């Protein structure tokens, strides 16, 4: 699964690396401490061994004599695993000496082939005493007098001491590393969030530009992001120049075509009826086509600039007032479900789309036209980055249209009722403008019996701004 959040990626990598590093550190330190403890334990046994050697001699009766005092009470307590043993070797027949902790038991001695002596003539080997204790034995052989009589000296210590010490140290080490790891995770998270905060500030600045609250990215940014904001501001300036140039070219083209088309329409009235009607219809079609493509060019340029914004209610109220003056015999009702809705469109395009629908509704309405504006869900296939959409519904109580007639009515230049004035371009223009803004335009039968036109248009709200 791909993680799209930069914060989550960095935090996940930092956490994974910290976890691996802490585990490795814990294992290494535990191993080193275990080796150090074993080495210290071996040195202790060696020191005790030589204490025993220095304390034992051959007495006048040719027996082993001596009472080693090792300063450790465990050598006098039974079954502790701490023992010392002195055994005569060869022809030296004497009674062995041992610590009171050993009692009458003994510890098995491995052969020299299995456990050889080192260069100091010492050997260390693990064993198990008669009481089940795991012990480490330090052993050496020493000649006691000039006659060559020798004895084997052994000192043992309980390995549970080392195991308990290593286990306690490891437990405390793991607790400390876990606390340190959790603290590092929190610190890393805060550092990452703090480090990425300028990106959020840049995003908010760009959002202000998109909502027409600012013309450029404004704010103090770190050196790593400053170059990005400079390039973004340069792109916004370039985009604004392109829009202005497109507007100027659209205006020049409209002005240059306006007069020739008007001349053609005037001349068509002077021609004989069959030819005049043909020229007039073609000139009107040409006028509609030119206007349609000019609208497309202007809308496309403005949409890409991300700067269009129109307050919806004032425009709709103005259109309703105009329609009431033009149609005093009909009732026009405006309902706003949520106040403060704004459209991400040029005011001219809002007036043209809604005005065409109101004009069409007034033409066929019996007594009233109802206009409603409310927030809406995004239409299918819309830009996922845009979260705010507005629905405008125009409904009348006229005869309405059947589903097959609705498809015909949306075609350019089609007029289902020739007795009514018009060019048949209104609904097609509404559909084209809506599509250019990535919106949706639908016709259906309304609750009042007439035609119900629904526009879903891109918008922003004052609350979001």
Q: Is residue 204 over pLDDT 70? A: yes
Cα–Cα distance for residue pair 303/306, rounded to 1 Å: 6
User: If you average pLDDT over residues 357-378, what whole number do you get?
Assistant: 91
Residues near 64 by beta carbon (within 8 Å), at least 6 away in sequence: 56, 57, 58, 86, 88, 94, 95, 96, 97, 151
pLDDT at position 465 is 43
User: If you average pLDDT over residues 228-238, what whole number do you get?
Assistant: 85
Q: pLDDT tens digits for 294-318?
A: 666 666 555 545 456 888 999 999 9
pLDDT at position 195 is 81
Q: pLDDT tens digits for 411-464?
A: 654 544 444 444 445 677 888 888 888 889 999 888 888 899 999 998 874 444
Phi, psi of 447 (to 5 degrees): -70, -20
Q: Is residue 36 over pLDDT 50? A: yes
Largest CA distance in the chain: 160
Query: Would the pTM of this model clear 0.85, i.e. be above it?
Result: no
Cα–Cα distance for residue pair 199/436, rounded to 1 Å: 31
User: If you average pLDDT over residues 67-86, what whole number do you get?
Assistant: 88
Q: Is residue 103 over pLDDT 80? A: yes
User: If you average pLDDT over residues 191-220, what whole number do you get?
Assistant: 80
Work out whether strand 134-143 and strand 150-158 pair parallel, antiparallel, or are unpaired.
antiparallel
User: In this structure, what token pair is assigned to residue 429?
Assistant: 């223009």
Nearest to 356 by CA among 288, 426, 441: 426
Percent residues over pLDDT 90 in the chain: 32
Cα–Cα distance for residue pair 412/310, rounded to 1 Å: 27
Q: Is residue 15 over pLDDT 50? A: yes
Sign of CA dihedral 198, 203, 208, 214: positive
Cα–Cα distance for residue pair 324/361, rounded to 1 Å: 12
Q: pLDDT tens digits for 247-299?
A: 677 767 766 776 787 778 777 777 777 777 777 777 777 776 676 666 666 66
pLDDT at position 459 is 85
User: If you average pLDDT over residues 83-107, what whole number do you get?
Assistant: 88
Cα–Cα distance for residue pair 320/358, rounded to 1 Å: 8
Q: How many beta carbons lie within 10 A of that of residue 455, not counting itself?
A: 25
Nearest to 349 by CA among 298, 387, 286: 298
- The total number of residues shown for the chain amounts to 465
User: If you average pLDDT over residues 80-109, what whole number do you get?
Assistant: 88
- How much is the mean pLDDT over the chain? 83
Cα–Cα distance for residue pair 122/136, rounded to 1 Å: 13
Percent residues over pLDDT 70 in the chain: 87
Quick check: helix, strand or coil at residue 65? strand
User: In this structure, what token pair is assigned to residue 152?
Assistant: 């084997």
Q: Is residue 143 over pLDDT 80? A: yes
Residue whose entry in the numeric block shows the structure tokens 């084209």? 432
């Amino acid at each position: 699964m791909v993680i799209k959040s930069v914060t989550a990626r960095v935090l996940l990598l930092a956490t994974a690396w910290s976890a691996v590093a802490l585990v490795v550190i814990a294992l290494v330190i535990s191993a080193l401490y275990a080796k150090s403890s074993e080495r210290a334990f071996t040195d202790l046994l060696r020191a005790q061994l030589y204490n025993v050697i220095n304390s034992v001699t051959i007495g006048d009766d040719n027996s082993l004599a001596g009472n080693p005092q090792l300063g450790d009470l465990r050598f006098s307590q039974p079954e502790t695993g701490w023992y010392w043993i002195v055994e005569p070797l060869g022809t030296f027949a004497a009674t062995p000496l041992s610590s009171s902790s050993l009692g009458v038991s003994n510890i098995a001695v491995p052969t020299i082939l299995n456990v050889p002596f080192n260069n100091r003539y010492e050997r260390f080997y693990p064993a198990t005493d008669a009481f089940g204790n795991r012990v480490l034995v330090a052993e050496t052989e020493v000649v006691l007098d000039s006659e060559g009589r020798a004895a084997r000296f052994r000192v043992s210590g309980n390995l549970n001491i080392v195991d308990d010490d290593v286990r306690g140290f490891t437990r405390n080490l793991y607790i400390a590393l876990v606390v340190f790891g959790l603290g590092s995770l929190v610190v890393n998270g805060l550092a990452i969030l703090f480090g990425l905060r300028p990106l959020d500030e840049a995003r908010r600045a760009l959002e202000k530009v998109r909502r027409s609250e600012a013309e450029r990215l404004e704010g103090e940014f770190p050196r790593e992001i400053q170059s990005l904001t400079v390039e973004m501001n340069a792109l916004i300036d370039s985009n604004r120049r392109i829009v202005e140039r497109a507007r100027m070219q659209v205006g020049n083209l409209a002005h240059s075509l306006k007069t020739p088309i008007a001349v053609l329409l005037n001349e068509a009235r002077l021609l004989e009826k069959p030819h005049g009607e043909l020229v007039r219809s073609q000139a009107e079609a040409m006028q509609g086509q030119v206007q349609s493509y000019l609208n497309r060019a202007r809308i496309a340029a403005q949409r890409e600039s991300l700067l269009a914004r129109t307050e919806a209610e004032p425009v709709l109220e103005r259109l309703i007032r105009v329609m009431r003056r033009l149609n005093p015999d009909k009732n026009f009702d405006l309902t706003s479900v949520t106040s403060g809705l704004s459209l991400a469109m040029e005011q001219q395009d809002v007036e043209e789309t809604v005005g065409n629908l109101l004009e069409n509704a007034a033409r066929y309405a019996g007594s009233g036209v109802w206009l409603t504006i409310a927030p809406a869900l995004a239409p299918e296939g819309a830009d996922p980055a845009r979260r705010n959409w507005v629905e405008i519904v125009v409904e009348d109580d006229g005869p309405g249209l059947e589903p097959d007639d609705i498809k015909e009515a949306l075609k350019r230049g089609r007029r289902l009722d020739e007795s009514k004035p018009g060019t048949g371009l209104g609904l097609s223009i509404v559909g084209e403008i809506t599509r250019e803004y990535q919106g949706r335009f639908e016709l259906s039968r309304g609750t009042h019996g007439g035609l119900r036109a629904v526009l879903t248009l891109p918008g922003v709200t004052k609350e979001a701004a």
